[in-house]
Amino acid sequence: MAADTRPGRVVGVVLAAGAGTRMGRPKALVRRPDGRPWVDLAVAALLDGGCDAVVVVLGAASREARALVPERPAVRTVVAADWERGPSASLLTGLVAAAEDPDVTAVLVTLVDLPGLPAGAVRRVLDDRGRVAADRASLRRAVHGGRPGHPVLIGRDHWDALRESLGSAAGEDRGAGHWLRSAGTRPVECSDLWDGADQDRAGVGVT
């Protein structure tokens, strides 16, 4: 049987569960100097860039963080019960939530500590040479000068293999990076849109 390559619904997944040890507080609670929460920025970038819905994965300080998630019909929150295990647990939780809808053909994953993520980068990763093509076989990620970054588009055909890899993670949890490299993820250069830098530490530009 031929693979189903029809474009379908794409769910954006924001990983926002960590304790933010280097930041000094959970990153899901961080705001820009103008008061806008990082989690709100991430949700807006994903929806404005073409995602049909967004799942925000919370963990540390989930009660306080949930209050910062924008109340929009297309947005929901889930809590990674074992968030302390690392990013693999958060991503697994996001995949489970997305899989509840059989019409979802792909997830587009980003991190909450990328407040500079523009909707244009989301659109570019979703776009396949001039057309939106987020089908079940999609596997693309943003790169910046060749450096792997976010967002990452993962079609549904890859979810079982990814879940198996994440579930067997041992030692220091690096999330999906190793699996993405071995799976042959196609790079999408986005350095002309932004620098792709995450913000791990408190400092200029955060409150």
Contact of 107 with 92, CB cutoff 8 Å: no
pLDDT at position 157, please?
Answer: 97
Q: Please state the rounded mean pLDDT for residues 162-168.
A: 87
Report the pLDDT value the prediction gives residue 144, as an integer from 0 to 100: 96
Listed range (28-32, 132-136, 150-154) with the worst mean pLDDT: 132-136
Question: In sequence order, which residues have a C-beta less than 8 Å from that of residue 125 and are 6 or more positions away?
Answer: 108, 140, 141, 142, 151, 152, 153, 188, 190
pLDDT over 50 (residue 13): yes
**Token pair listed for 53:** 């819905």
pLDDT of 5 over the 50 cut: no
Using a pLDDT cut of 70, give the percent of the chain over it: 87
Give CA–CA dist 34/20, Å, rounded.
21
The per-residue pLDDT for range 25-68, each reduced to its tens digit, is 999 999 999 999 999 999 999 999 999 999 999 999 999 999 99
Q: For the chain, what is the mean pLDDT? A: 89
Residue 207 has pLDDT above 50, yes or no: no
* Residue 60: per-residue pLDDT: 95
What pLDDT, on a 0 to 100 scale, did the predictor assign at position 139? Answer: 96
* Averaged pLDDT for residues 93-119: 96
Q: Over pLDDT 90: what percentage of the chain?
A: 75
Distance CA 155, CA 149 (A): 17
pTM, entire model: 0.91
Cβ 113 vs Cβ 14: under 8 Å: no
> Picking from 93-97, 132-136, 183-187, which range would have the lowest pLDDT averaged per residue?
132-136
Q: Residue 140 pLDDT > 70, yes or no? A: yes
Q: What does the pLDDT read at residue 40?
A: 98
More confident residue, 105 or 134: 105
User: What's residue 201's pLDDT?
Assistant: 60
Gap between the Cα atoms of 143 and 186, Å rounded: 10
Residue 130, pLDDT above cutoff 70: no
